[in-house]
């Protein structure tokens, strides 16, 4: 069992309120960054009458399990082509955060928070490589678009971005 070492002010707490789903995910993702794991959306539920989302669940990326046999829908004759096996990352981790929408307002409230993980957490020097923490700034995106228009090869674009 692995428990993240994060200061209490940064930890999600039951009944904590957020103005939007995005704000709640952003908070959980920042917590995940400090704790050393990557977060993702797992599930959501809608009100059957209003078709409005009323429940969301964010989890560790290692939640659940993947199939051992990876086969694609492509066939050669009647034989399926097997896809390249990638490292399985799912370990059945139970860490999660669940938010529900207030019935009388527009706020979202944390209803469930489980912080324990069943796998090792990333070190601070490697956490920026995890999927939910990788991002390219709008400035760098615009710059790469300009490079592409100028026919600068991708490898040179990456070298130039590393210098910045």
Cα–Cα dist 87/68, whole Å:
10
69 Cβ neighbours under 8 A, 6+ residues apart: 82
What's the mean per-residue pLDDT of the chain? 87
Q: pLDDT tens digits for 98-119?
A: 999 998 888 999 999 999 999 9
What are the boundaries of each domain within the chain?
A: 1-67+87-132, 134-164
Question: For the chain, where are the alpha helices, taking DSSP H only?
Answer: 21-35, 138-149, 154-163
Q: pLDDT tens digits for 2-40?
A: 888 888 889 999 999 999 999 999 999 999 999 999 999
Task: Give the per-residue pLDDT at 69.
Answer: 47
Q: Which of 2, 135, 124 is nearest to 62 (CA)?
A: 2
In three-state secondary structure terms, 18 is: strand
Q: What is the pTM of this model?
A: 0.76
Q: Is the pLDDT of residue 126 over 70?
A: yes
β pairing state of 108-114 and 17-18: antiparallel
């Amino acid at each position: 069992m692995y428990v993240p070492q994060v200061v209490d002010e940064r930890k999600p707490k039951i009944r904590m309120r957020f103005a939007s789903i995005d704000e709640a995910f952003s908070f959980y993702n920042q917590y995940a960054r400090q704790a050393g794991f990557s977060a993702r959306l797992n599930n959501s539920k809608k009100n059957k009458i209003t078709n409005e989302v009323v429940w969301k669940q964010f989890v560790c990326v290692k939640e659940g399990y993947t199939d051992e046999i990876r086969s694609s829908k492509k066939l050669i004759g009647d034989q399926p082509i097997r896809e390249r096996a990638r490292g399985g990352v799912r370990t059945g981790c139970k860490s999660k955060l669940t938010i529900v929408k207030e019935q009388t307002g527009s706020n979202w409230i944390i209803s469930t928070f489980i912080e324990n993980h069943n796998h090792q957490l990333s070190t601070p020097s490697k956490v920026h490589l995890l999927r939910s923490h990788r991002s390219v700034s709008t400035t760098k995106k615009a710059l790469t678009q300009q490079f592409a228009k100028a026919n600068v090869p991708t490898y040179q674009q990456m070298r130039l971005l590393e210098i910045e």
